[in-house]
A and B are shown apart, each in its own frame.
Chain A
Amino acid sequence: MKIIVNGTATEVRSETLATVLAELGYGDAKVATAVNEGFVPAAARDVALAPGDRVEIVAPRQGG
């Protein structure tokens, strides 16, 4: 299915947020996630995704 990952249309085979993260190479990366503008805690990533879902994947960065 086609979903939006960090603003980019992306074709994925996996069906849940957790398996999509693995498929896209995040593995054990230190990231946090949101789906359709709502936070999804790490413990709740078994949630199924639907075509067109907007997934945000963020990590620690410099800030002021």
Chain B
Amino acid sequence: MRLYGIDIASRLMLGTAQYPSPDVLAEAFRRSGAGIATVSVRREAGGERAGATFWDLVRDLGVTLLPNTAGCHSAREAVTTAQMARELFDTSWIKLEVIGHADTLQPDPFGLLEAARILVEEGFNVFPYTTEDVVLADRLLSAGCEVLMPWGAPIGTGLGLTNVYGLRTLRAQFPEVPMVVDAGLGLPSQAAMAMEMGFDAVLLNTAVAKAGDPAAMAEGFARAVEAGRLAYQADPMEPRDMAAPSTPVIGKAFLT
């Protein structure tokens, strides 16, 4: 998988938040085989040095870092956050989140597009966290985004793909654009489904971090992503309503 000119070996992307401990986080990443880790920037107190500790931890994971603008509710806020993240993580990659609704954490399509335009202009490689809206997707691509990250379901819900029709339409409209289903996945089967539909990768965090055994769940997702990708490449059969015997009818013993 190639994203903004970088080859990424794994189609599973993993968040770094909410793990019970740094050791569990590291073990989950090891078993997931994830090639990309999402990170954030947050306030630090004088003398705290928590940032340096976390920086050492994620650097040791040996994965590509994708900073986010989580929690931003305006284009201005997201742009400033992206600029701070670029300096801190030394990368032009940014997972752009501009949230428009408190209960669903749905992206604000207007603020998202505005921020994407500014950041592309400033040389960022923007990964917009978006909905399945094809018009918005088209505008984001026109603004210079080369990857799209449509939501599966609202962040942290674990509901899976709540609008399969919308996601299928989005996938079909832009077959050449790398797309990552981001947010809302709770189970490996849901990740497999996204991959079977032809999405290029999935990004999750809560489903792994909040599982009873995060490392085992990470490996479960890794296998599901691989299985789903293989199925997509294998060109699945067409479903049908009526039964069709799989065992040959000819040659059956005549016993009545």
A interface residues with partner B (beta carbon < 8 Å): 6-7, 24-26, 29-34, 37-39, 41-42, 56-64
**B84/A64 in contact, CB under 8 A:** no
B interface residues with partner A (beta carbon < 8 Å): 15-19, 38-52, 54-55, 58, 67-68, 70, 76-77, 80, 83-85, 87-89, 155, 183, 205-206
Known A29-B52, A34-B80, A34-B84; judge A64-B42 contact (CB<8 A).
Answer: no
CB proximity of B63 to chain A, nearest CB, Å: 13
CB proximity of A53 to chain B, nearest CB, Å: 15
Bound CA–CA A32/B86 (angstroms): 9
Bound CA–CA A37/B85 (angstroms): 14
Contacts of A29 in B (CB 8 A): 44, 46, 48-49, 51-52
Bound CA–CA A60/B81 (angstroms): 12
Listed from nearest, the 5 A-B pairs whose CB atoms lie closest are A59-B51, A63-B40, A25-B46, A64-B15, A64-B205
Kindly report which residue of chain B lies nearest to residue A63, judged by CB atoms: B40
**B89/A60 in contact, CB under 8 A:** yes
Name A57's contact: one of B44, B89, B155 (CB within 8 Å): B44
**B87/A62 in contact, CB under 8 A:** no
A–B pairs, 15, beta carbons within 8 Å: A6-B44, A24-B46, A32-B41, A32-B84, A37-B80, A41-B83, A57-B43, A57-B44, A58-B42, A59-B42, A59-B52, A60-B55, A64-B16, A64-B17, A64-B206
Bound CA–CA A52/B84 (angstroms): 21
**A62/B39 in contact, CB under 8 A:** yes
Residue picked from A24, A31, A62, most chain B C-beta under 10 Å: A62
CB proximity of B155 to chain A, nearest CB, Å: 7
**A64/B44 in contact, CB under 8 A:** no
**B40/A59 in contact, CB under 8 A:** no
**A6/B45 in contact, CB under 8 A:** yes
Bound CA–CA A48/B172 (angstroms): 53
**B54/A61 in contact, CB under 8 A:** yes
CB proximity of A28 to chain B, nearest CB, Å: 9
